[in-house]
Structures are given as C-alpha cells and as structure tokens.
Structure 1
Amino acid sequence: MTLYTSMPLELVLAGMNDEREPLIELEQDGALMQLAPLAPGIGKLVRLVHAPLDHYLNPRFQPGAYIVYSSPTD
C-alpha cells in the first residue's frame, strides 16, 4: 500500500503500535459483535462478526454505536 500525504510520517503513524484493550465479543439480539469496553457494562461497537442481514442496515448496530450490556458476575 502506498500512502501519499503532505503530513510528516511521524504524525501519520503516531499511536500505531500502542497497546489497546482487548475487544469483548458479545451476542445480543441475534448478532455477534465486537465491542471496545468504555465503562463497566458499556462498550463501543467495533464490528459485527455475524448477524442477520437487516442488522447491517439498522443504525443501532453501526460501528461507533454505544451498546449497553450486563457484565457477567463471578
């Protein structure tokens, strides 16, 4: 892949190797999704792994949407 930009390479690649929190896989309303945890019981939708086709057109399941889930208790 070639990237043409007038920005310095250090700015373009800044944060590329930073550690990220592991994603949570959650099944809700028949959709298997990956969430980035934000707070206990709240996550930001990263992607749908497997879902019915109509879920892909539903704004509730678009990437970046906030999903409320119940965290499992030990």
Structure 2
Amino acid sequence: MTLYTSMPLELVLSGMNEQPGPYVDIVIGDIKMQVEPMSPGIGKIVRLLECPLDAYLNPQYSPGTMIAYSAPQA
C-alpha cells in the first residue's frame, strides 16, 4: 500500500500501536452492544454485536452515540 501525504509520518502513524478499550458488553432490550465507559452509567457505543437487522438503521444505536446503562450484573 502506498500512502501519499504531506503530513509527517509520526503524525500519520500516531496511536497505531495503542490498545483501545476497556469495553463493556451490555444488553438493552434485544440489542447486545459493545460500549466504552465514559463515566459511571454512561458510555459511548462502539459497535452492535447481536441485534435485529433494523437496529442498524436506528440512529439511536449508531456508533459514537452516548447511552445510559446500568452496570452488568456479575
């Protein structure tokens, strides 16, 4: 792959080796999703894991949306 850019290579590749996370898997209704906790009880949706196909069209569950949730029961 060839990348043509006027940006410094360090800036283009910054964060490439960093691990994302930690993520929490939660279930709301019939939708299982992966959430990145932002504060207690509030998180940002990373991706939908298991859900009906029409849930992907619902803007309420799009990645990057902030959502309130309760802590998973152990």
Q: What TM-score, normalized by structure 2, do the two folds share? A: 0.85
1:23-62 correspondence to structure 2 within 5 Å: 23-62=23-62
Unaligned runs of 5+ in 1: none
CA contact (8 A) 2:26 2:33 kept: yes
How many angstroms does 1:54 deviate by?
1.0
Percent of aligned positions with the same letter in both sequences? Answer: 55
Q: What TM-score, normalized by structure 1, do the two folds share? A: 0.85
Q: Number of matched residues?
A: 74
After TM superposition, where is structure 1 displaced by more than 6 Å over at least 4 residues in a row?
none
Unaligned runs of 5+ in 2: none
State the one-letter code of the partner of 2:3. Answer: L
